[in-house]
Amino acid sequence: MATSHHAHTGHNHSGHQVPGPDDHAMAEMLELDAEVLQDYLAELTGWLGELSDGEPRRIIDLGAGPGTGAFALARQFPQAEVTAVDVSPLLLHRLSTRAAALGLSARVTGLEADLDAGLPPLGDADLVWAASSLHHMSDPDRVLADAFAALRPGGLLAVTEMHFFPRFLPADIGVGPPGLEERVHTALDTSPFVDWTENLVRAGFTIEAARPFEVQLANPGTAAARYAEICLRRLRSHLDGQVSAEDLASLDTLLDVDGPRTLARRSDLDVRTTRTTWAARRP
C-alpha cells in the first residue's frame, strides 16, 4: 500500500520530508519536529507504555533517522535498550553523537541497514517503532513481516503516519488571496497519509487501537520558527512553475532571514499537524 508523493524522499528514516539533497537540513528538520512536538511524543510513548504488557526492555526503531523517536522511547522507558535502524550513515552518525551528549550511548545504538533489503536478525523485541518510515519502503508488507518476526509473542508494533505536512502560517499571510500555505501544499501533494490497517492484519498482527493525535500549538516559540523556515524552504525549492509569481514572492519574503517580515520576526506562527498511530500486537 505504499504510495509515492512529492513530499517524500527515498530515505528510510522517521519523520517527514520534502525532496532535497541536504541530509543535514533534513536531520535538523526532524530534530526540530521532535523538540517542538515533545509533548506529543511524550503522550504517544506514554500511551504505548499503557498498552504494553510490562515496561519494554528491547526496542527496535525502524527508519530511525537522527534518532528522535529512539530518544523519546529511551526517555519514556528508562530500562530499555533501543536499536535504531537506518540506511543513512550520516544520520546514524548524528544519532550516535546525540546519544553520547545525552549520556545514552549504552542504551541507544545505531545499526546501518537497508530495510528494503531485509532487517538483520534482531528477535525478541518488546516494542517495534516505525514512525513515518513505512511509506518509503518498496515492499512495506515484507518490512511488516520482518517486524512481526522481530517481536516476541505479545510484543507491540507502533506504526505512525502523518495526515499532512505541518502547517505554520496564518491564512491571510502574503500579498495575494488568502490561503498561501494551502496552495503550496496542494501544488506539491504533501499529504503522505497511508492507512496501514489491512497491511497489519495481513502480516498477522492484532490491532489494539488506531489513535489520531491532533497537534495545535499557538505561539510555539523560536524553535518552531526555525522548524517552519526549514520546512517551507524545502517546499520553496520545488515550487518554481507550480504556483503564481505572487505566491513565490510572498514565500521569498518570509524566507529572507534579513528581511523585516522573515519568519523569525513573526508572532503569528503556529504548528498544526495530525498523526495517527496504529498499535498492533503479535499474538
252, part of any domain: no
> Residue 141 is part of a domain; what is its CATH number?
3.40.50.150
Question: For residue 45, what are the domain limits?
Answer: 23-165+190-218+273-281
Between 17 and 182, whose confidence is greater? 182
64, part of any domain: yes
Taking the C-alpha atoms of residue 237 and residue 245, their distance in angstroms, rounded to an integer, is 14
90, part of any domain: yes
Share above pLDDT 90 across residues of the chain, in percent, rounded to a whole number: 83
Please give the model's pTM, rounded to 2 decimal places: 0.89
Task: Write out the three cell numbers for 185.
Answer: 501544499
- How many structural domains are present in the chain? 1
Between 1 and 66, whose confidence is greater? 66
- The answer to whether 81 touches 58, Cβ cutoff 8 Å, is yes
260, part of any domain: no
Taking the C-alpha atoms of residue 128 and residue 279, their distance in angstroms, rounded to an integer, is 10
Alpha helices (H) along the chain? 23-36, 38-51, 68-76, 89-101, 140-150, 180-188, 197-202, 222-236, 245-255
213, part of any domain: yes
76, part of any domain: yes
232, part of any domain: no
Taking the C-alpha atoms of residue 52 and residue 112, their distance in angstroms, rounded to an integer, is 27
223, part of any domain: no
Contacts of 165 (CB under 8 A, 6+ apart): 7, 16, 18, 185, 190, 191, 192, 231, 235, 273
Flag whether pLDDT at 16 surpasses 60. no
For residue 26, name the pLDDT band (cuts at 50, 70, 90): confident
